[in-house]
Structure 1
Amino acid sequence: MAGRIRIGTSGWVYPPWRGVFYPPKLAHRRELEYLSRQVNSVEINGSFYSLQRPSSYQTWREQTPDDFEFAVKGGRFITHMKRLRDIDAPLANFFASGVLALGDKLGPMLWQLPPTLRYDETQLADFFDRLPRSTEAAAELARRHDERLDGRDWTTTDADRPVRHALEVRHSSFTDPAFPDLLRRHGIGLVVADAAAEWPYLEDVTADFAYVRLHGSTELYASGYTDEALDGWAERIRRWTEQGVDAYAYFDNDMKVKAPRDAIGLLERLRSG
């Protein structure tokens, strides 16, 4: 059975997109609604910078089609500030902030490590062991939030579903051949990051899904992808899904309004066979 394909952008609130990708005078509150009719997934990246509110997740769920799916980026407080240490309360707070309000539209969790964090097998294994692997487990973890989430928490799930996790790395030490094996043992997806050679390029499939982040072909966050490049990514994704692996791909080259065009172009290629 072929895997599912989800293609979109990393975020959707970008002023330069207004009047270029988004129609002139489109209300800002309708931007996700507009984008979600042209791609079938989006990566929530506001959750990386700060804890969102349950009402926001509920609104995003309501604005998108029934078959839409969200990837959710884990908080930088966990990955960049705490650097994966002493994170029991921060993890509980993150999952209590409303992630579960997405219901059946909740896709994989993305954890992006800072470029200064080196490969440490023991540290990573400890982090992976703390991650909830189902929505019931996530709800249980969320109920252990601290007082900062009192009165603005969401700690229930409408059904018990699997929760997937993907890891994006940026330090050269992660080229260690033991790293993919560690991910496979814990069922964690490895992010394939195309980042203009700024960070390691790794393409191992380590879980039942593949996760791609396209940051720019030649200029980080800015350059677009040629037709030939999009053809190449479409071929990679087809190869994975033919092996029964689900595939997620998000364009993060937002600075010059390339991301939505590239995402739509890649999805069209994949839908056309």
Structure 2
Amino acid sequence: MSAATPYQPIPNSFRRAVCGGETLIGCWASLASPIATELLGIIGFDWMLLDAEHAPNDVLTLIPQLMALKDSPSAPVVRPPANDSVFIKRLLDSGFSNFLVPFVDSADDAARAVAATRYPPQGIRGVSVSQRGNRYATVPDYFRIANDNVCVIVQIESRKAVESIDDILAVEGVDAVFVGPSDLAATHGHIGDPSHPDVQQSIAHVFERAKAAGKASGILAPVQADAERYIAMGSSVVAVCADMGLLKNAAQAVQHHFSQKQAARQ
């Protein structure tokens, strides 16, 4: 994706880039702040994940962040709190076109996620004639083209999901799979240690099976060395940082610098 071109939901350039295997570098946004999201969008990440699963976001806090990214090259991706068709419908009507659906453990789970994003007969999305997603009924042929302009990425976060990876990848409409390393580590009995060899073996397996299926894979990797290793392994949709971590790390570095200076003067 071009860092100079604002993202457009129709035609969905992010979905095209994901399905084309482009390496897309993203940033996680958990602060529920349109100002912070706007700033990070200006920086020029390929995509921004707006989190409603592990962050204090709802539709009314997500829409201002979506607005904040409107002139940004960063494609907004939303993570709903669950694989829930009603919440996904509300996010679609709010203007989101790219979804990261959490805890998809089976082909049935994946099929439900895809169906929630499609109008009938391909899915079960309810029809609202005028909503923010179709720019209040001003997008020509929206109902005809909407289904082909939604990107669905499903999260692989359990041993069951790893065991079912080929079936999940075979679901039509699943554009990519995305590893959640922390939850995956927990289900392996290694909570807090995604670097454990058992977990790393499962991550590599997901990447390999995605490549074999001709689909993209992704992962959250806020440690730079991890992100570079996963990209070298073939992962292409990689979140390399998070707003909360960036703020915390920068604040700690400044505080540490001046506390050390102060201690030296005493």
Q: Normalised by the size of structure 1, how large is the TM-score? A: 0.48
Higher helix share: 2
Q: Normalised by the size of structure 2, how large is the TM-score? A: 0.49
Q: Which has the higher contact order (CA 8 A, sep 6+)?
A: 1
Larger radius of gyration: 2
